[in-house]
Structure 1
Amino acid sequence: MALLGAEFAMKDLGPLSFFVGIVVSRDANGMFLSQKQYATENIERAGMANCSSCPTPVDTKPKLNASKDSPYEDPTKYCSLAGALQYLTFTRPDISYAVQQICLHMHDPRNEHMSALKHILRYLQGTLSYGLHLYKSSFNKLISYTDADWGGCPDTRRSTSGYCVFLGDNLISWSSKRQPTLSCSSAEAEYR
């Protein structure tokens, strides 16, 4: 550390409490990472500050597809809000799948896609206090889970796969994405 300090001008800013929009709170059990203010700002930017909340981030209807619905009037706003939701997935793994689904349609957003995006914002409105808790743990086992919906995309028949990785009790990595190629079996997902 002394060598780094000699080479680069460094200053101790104390314990981390805020970094790139993520608030870090410490307690006896560990750390809690939250983007409540960022989520609130994006709900307001979408004009939904007084919206009612909903219990899940996705509608229970079938998956979104390349709808024949009319194009959304402001594609730039759609892309901006979808990108903001992507940033929220850093501390909100519960919205990863739903955000992945709306981001598939950023190139040609339709009214149906904007409705799905607003559904996520309504879910966030009711869960603003959620975040990512990192616990102190002596348990250091690495555990991973993965799954895929075989041929689930109604347009391309590609699978959407997802995974999450825990180190002890702590969720340290997660993802949900559509696979790049069409697969005739689920063997690849099962192998992973």
Structure 2
Amino acid sequence: MAYILLYVDDIILTAFSDSLRCSIMALLASEFAMKDLGLLNYFLGIHVTRHKDGLFLSQHKYAEEIIDRAGMSSCKATSTPVDTEPKVSSTSGAPYDDPSHYRSLAGALQYLTFTRPDISYAVQQGTLDYGLHLYPSSVIDLLSYTDADWGGCPDTGTEGARTLSFHLDKVVL
């Protein structure tokens, strides 16, 4: 068994055995100009660190780059990822001076939260050091929570969090 993750011209390839991985690499290299960068280290803004029990995935560097682009590098980090102030309405405050810059930052934060649903609410508070630990496991049920503060929107007044539940046939690390 092998898994290939392809995004534009970036590829992650993992296989059940090194010989299978090498044969797939050879087949791909016969069709495309490729370079084997070795063990996975950084992919699409996600830094991968190996430890004795598994992997740690972090977007610390990517999040710092977003903060730099927003001109907020000198801001103080928060001690809690939870909003401690009242919510801001879409009608409060003055319009942003540079809409294209704002849209670029919003898109970057959207990507950050799409790839990290566990911090989708907390990302607005500056949670740079959070990450995802991956360990081998025999557990085949995955429970995911999203829209953690969906009910706190002052404009819509909607309530509730959503829960997604999946059953996996096999978990491979």
- Please report the TM-score for the alignment, with normalisation by the length of structure 1: 0.57
Cα displacement (A) at 1:31? 0.9
AA paired with 1:71? Answer: P
* Structure 1 Cα separation of the partners of residues 47 and 120 of structure 2: 20
Q: Which residue of 2 aligns with 1:183?
A: none
AA paired with 1:36? Answer: H
* Structure 2 Cα separation of the partners of residues 50 and 141 of structure 1: 42
Mapped contact 2:118–2:146 kept (Cα < 8 A): no
Mapped contact 2:60–2:128 kept (Cα < 8 A): yes
Q: Please list, as runs of the form range in 1=range in 2, the aligned pairs for 1:129-140 lying within 5 A after superposition.
A: 129-140=129-140
* Structure 1 Cα separation of the partners of residues 105 and 46 of structure 2: 18
Cα displacement (A) at 1:85? 1.2
Q: Which residue of 1 aligns with 2:27?
A: 5
1:66 maps to which of 90, 100, 108? 90
Q: Which residue of 2 aligns with 1:44?
A: 68
Cα displacement (A) at 1:34? 1.4
Cα displacement (A) at 1:98? 5.2
Give the percent of matched residue pairs that are identical in Structure 1 and Structure 2: 57
Can you give the 5+ residue segments of structure 1 that lack an aligned partner in the other structure? 100-119, 169-192
Task: Kindly indicate whether structure 1 or structure 2 has the higher relative contact order, using CA contacts under 8 Å at least 6 residues apart.
Answer: 1
1:81 maps to which of 98, 102, 105? 105
Deviations 1:74-126 (A, max 9, x none): 22222221211122225544431256xxxxxxxxxxxxxxxxxxxx3xx42xx
Cα displacement (A) at 1:52? 0.9
Can you give the 5+ residue segments of structure 2 that lack an aligned partner in the other structure? 1-19, 169-173
Larger CA deviation: 45-54 vs 60-69: 60-69
- Please report the TM-score for the alignment, with normalisation by the length of structure 2: 0.62
Question: Aligned pairs, how many?
Answer: 144
Q: Please list, as runs of the form range in 1=range in 2, the aligned pairs for 1:41-190 lying within 5 A after superposition.
A: 41-90=65-114, 92-97=116-121, 120=124, 123-124=125-126, 127-144=127-144, 152-159=152-159, 161-163=161-163
AA paired with 2:140? Answer: N
Deviations 1:107-157 (A, max 9, x none): xxxxxxxxxxxxx3xx42xx4332111111122233355787786543334
Mapped contact 2:145–2:161 kept (Cα < 8 A): no
* Structure 2 Cα separation of the partners of residues 68 and 147 of structure 1: 22
Mapped contact 1:33–1:91 kept (Cα < 8 A): no
Mapped contact 1:21–1:35 kept (Cα < 8 A): yes
Mapped contact 1:25–1:31 kept (Cα < 8 A): yes
Cα displacement (A) at 1:11? 5.8
